[in-house]
Amino acid sequence: MQRISAKILLGVAVFLAVIFQANTLQAQDAAKLFKANCASCHKPTDQKLIGPGLKGIRSRWPDEAKLIAWIKNSTEFLKTGDAYANKLFEEYGRSVMPAQNLSDAEIIALIDWTDKGGDAPASAAGDGAAKADGAGAGAGATETSSDSYLYILIIVGFVLLVLINVLNSVKSSLESLVNEKKGIITEPEPIRTPTEKFRIWASNNKKIVAVISLFLVIWVLKQGWDGLMGIGVYQGYAPEQPIKFSHKLHAGDNQIACVYCHSGVEKSKHANIPSANVCMNCHMYIQEGPQYGKEEIGKIYAALDYNPETRTYGPNQKPIQWIRVHSLPDHAYFNHSQHVAVGKIECTSCHGPIDSMEVVQQHSPLTMGWCIDCHRKTEVDKDNKYYEELHKQFVNDPKYKKGDKFTIGSLGGLECSKCHY
């Protein structure tokens, strides 16, 4: 009897295992099918895209045959005059769902999978969040490490000083004890104020005082010089922006070209701060970021008065007030297109490793010396027809010596009026 029941149990277990196996296989297939055929307009969650989110689709379409017909050819199905289908069509801006070349079984598997809200997106989002957390923590640690190192040094120094003092006083009291025992009576030292003590110490150790004061003077002079030279130089300026936009995530990890957002860089003086519609090219779909979730992307929606539920823009739009990082004084002219399109200078040669910056900071000093330095060193492409004539003039100049380089400077790139007018 026991044997039989064991056999039955085993059978049931195998049967269940087979069913589960079949189910998971189906789920994987459905996920693949969904990605290939549906994902450009639908999400398997509540989130609306071009079409409705497909979670709980069964409850909305009580007649499965109708739903299958609708998926197979929506334009034909609309002609049957089905009330719900027509309502959907109007609700989602009359966008046509293309006819899907799928079998009934495939569609049913898809409906099964989407009805319970899919499975892949949640885990993917979780992974992303975890990764981002790790990265964030790492960045924080490196940022604070140099500061905390300094504080540890100061504390250790302080402890050592206290220790020296204590040992000193112990030593002197021991000495006086020994002297007492020997019968030598030492005169108690006269009580002095610390300044008096310091004066006596200084007059006894003139060399040390001289060396220390020399270092102090040098240090003060250097600090003063650096401070004066740093006036008007914004190098290292990394203001907090109204949206925590990460260039590391967008330009680094996702490898989006600089020009995608800064599309004016080859055409105009300015590289362009992208308008919010450029953000929306991707963030219509990507509504949650790996690091800050919906909070930061929500700020784009707020600026555009956009409702991700209905996918409509409201009237109360206001510009995002980004804080300018790189700012040349008004009396200096700079043109991006000239440097990028003609000079073929890479973005990173002036802006530094932008693709690894969480917060953008000014990499180069942007001083006149820095500009001039590059204009002196950079050689011009002689094969460019535009510079052919100028190169001839340059070579025929009586001042020309063999081996002189044809640089921006020799084209007149060091003239005052090139940039100041």
Partner 1 sequence: MKKLIQIVFPVSAVLCGLALLSSCKSDPLSPGLEYMPDMYRGPAYETYGESPFNENGSAMKPVARTIPRFNAETLPFHETYPFPNTNEGYELAGVQVKNPYPVSPEFLEKGKKIYNNFCVHCHGEKGDGNGILVQRDKYAGVPSYYGASIKDLPEGKMYHTIYYGKNMMGSHAAQINFAERWEVIEYVKKLRNDGLGISSDSSAAKTDTTAAAAATASITK
Residues 360-399, interacting with partner 1 (CB under 8 A):
361
Q: What one-character DSSP code corresponds to residue 378?
A: P
Closest to 360 (Cα-Cα) out of 326, 335, 337, 334: 326
Element (H, E) at 120: helix 120-182
Closest to partner 1 by CB, 301 vs 394, is: 301
Residue 23 or residue 327: which is nearer to partner 1 going by CB? Answer: 327
Tell me the sheet residues that pair with 289: 293
Q: Which stretch binds partner 1 (CB under 8 A): 3-11, 229-237, 291-299, 370-378?
A: 229-237
36-55: contacts with partner 1 (CB under 8 A): 36-41, 49-50
357 is a site residue for partner 1 (CB under 8 A): no
Q: Does 94 bind partner 1 (CB under 8 A)?
A: yes
Q: Are the C-beta atoms of 16 and 26 separated by less than 8 Å? A: no
Quick one: angle between helices 104-115 and 64-72, nearest 10? 110
Is the CB of residue 149 less than 8 Å from the CB of residue 66?
A: no
User: Shortest gap between Cβ of 91 and partner 1 (angstroms)?
Assistant: 15
**Least distance (Å) from partner 1 to the CB of residue 74?**
12
Of 13 and 154, which has the nearer Cβ to partner 1? 154
Helical residues (DSSP H) of 183-205, grouped into ranges:
194-204
Give the Cβ contact number of residue 271 at 10 Å.
21
Q: Provide the residue type at 413 as one letter.
A: G
State which residue, 304 or 380, has the beta carbon closest to partner 1: 304
DSSP H or E run through 300: helix 294-304
Compute, in degrees rounded to 10, the torsion defined by CA atoms 345, 350, 353, 355.
Answer: -60
Asked if 253 interacts with partner 1 (CB under 8 A), we say yes
In angstroms, the CA 291 to CA 396 distance is 61
In the numeric block, which tokens belong to residue 174? 């021991």
Query: Nearest distance from residue 257's CB to partner 1, in Å?
Result: 4
Q: Is position 273 an interface residue for partner 1 (rule: CB under 8 A)? A: yes
Would you say 98 or 140 has its CB closer to partner 1? 98
Tell which positions 297-336 bind partner 1, by CB under 8 A. 317-319, 322, 324, 327, 329-331
Is the CB of 365 or the CB of 409 nearer to partner 1?
365
Strand partners, 307: 312
Tell which one of 141, 214, 286, 368 touches partner 1 (CB under 8 A): 286
Quote the least distance from Cβ 84 to partner 1, whole Å.
20
Stretch that binds partner 1, among 104-112, 178-186, 224-232, 398-406 (CB under 8 A): 224-232
Q: Characterize 230-257 residue by residue with b for buried, 16 or more Cβ atoms within 10 angstroms of its Cβ, and e for exposed.
A: eeeebeeeeeeeebebbbbbbbbeeeee
Would you say 21 or 75 has its CB closer to partner 1? 75
Query: Is position 78 an interface residue for partner 1 (rule: CB under 8 A)?
Result: no
- CA 257 to centroid of chain Cα atoms: 14
Task: Please report whether residue 231 would count as binding partner 1 according to CB under 8 A.
Answer: yes
Closest to 340 (Cα-Cα) out of 257, 421, 237, 269: 269
Residue 180 tokens, joined: 């007492």
Question: Is 284 a binder of partner 1 (CB under 8 A)?
Answer: yes
Which of 232, 315, 369, 403 binds partner 1 (CB under 8 A)? It is: 232
# residues contacting partner 1 (CB under 8 A): 72
Length of the chain: 421
Kindly state the smallest distance separating residue 78's Cβ from partner 1, in Å: 12
**Nearest-approach distance from CB 153 to partner 1, in angstroms:** 6
Q: In whole angstroms, how close is the CB of 183 to partner 1 at the nearest point? A: 23
Smaller CB distance to partner 1: residue 305 or 379?
305
**224 is a site residue for partner 1 (CB under 8 A):** no
What does the block give as tokens for 312?
A: 């409509």
Within 123-182, the residues that bind partner 1 by CB under 8 A are 124, 128, 147, 150, 153-154, 157-158, 160-161, 164, 168
The yes or no reply on residue 344 touching partner 1 (CB under 8 A) is: no
CA distances 267 to 101, 235, 372, Å, are 45, 26, 24
